[in-house]
Amino acid sequence: MSKIWFISDTHFYHTNIIKYCNRPFKDAEEMNYKIIQNWNSVVQHDDIVYHLGDFALGNKEKIKNIAYQLNGRKFLICGNHDAFRATEYMELGFEWATRHPMIYNNYMILSHEPVFLEHNSCRCNIHGHLHINNYRSGPDDTKKNLYFNVSIEQIKYKPISLNEIEKFYAGESFKDYKED
């Protein structure tokens, strides 16, 4: 049975992100290799991966090259660094792409940046964009646990499963993604 995975802010080919976010890689080539290796170590070919934006910098050939190395059926919610039209990402290896947040399974909002959950109509907002801020609560304490950040720095540079996110919300162990 296929699994559902989430990740954001991979920034393939983005050399400066290593410095900006203190990523543990010497250069973009090493970063790309390690993220691809980490991704494929958990994601199987028939799994579904929601990438929540800022996939890669570079031309279409580079983006296609990376996308085709990654396991799973890939769906993209474009981020602020995703320069091409959503339809172009579907030509580059994504089954589906959009520039807008989406509602998943009637209870989660998937977006690149956190979105304001005014009426708590959804259980949570799974998002990226906030690289080094461990943003697992809302803008104030009244919104605690409404947000879950899947920016790659927050999830040990590999996709996180829907099952792990649901464990977090159920108050169960989250040890595989906590810092050592």
Domains of the chain: 4-177 (3.60.21.10)
For residues 55-72, b (16+ Cβ closer than 10 Å) or e, as one string?
Answer: bbbeeeeebbbbbeebbb
pLDDT at 60: 97
The DSSP output letter for 8 is B
pLDDT at 178: 44
Tens digit of each residue's pLDDT (9 = 90 or more) over 59-110: 999 999 999 999 999 999 999 999 999 999 999 999 999 999 999 888 889 9
Q: In what order do the strands lie in the sheet with 108-110?
A: 102-104, 108-110, 124-127, 147-149
pLDDT at 170: 75
Tens digit of each residue's pLDDT (9 = 90 or more) over 20-39: 999 999 999 999 999 999 99
The pTM is what?
Answer: 0.89
What whole-number distance in Å separates Cα of residue 172 and Cα of residue 120?
A: 22
Tens digit of each residue's pLDDT (9 = 90 or more) over 1-21: 899 999 999 999 999 999 999
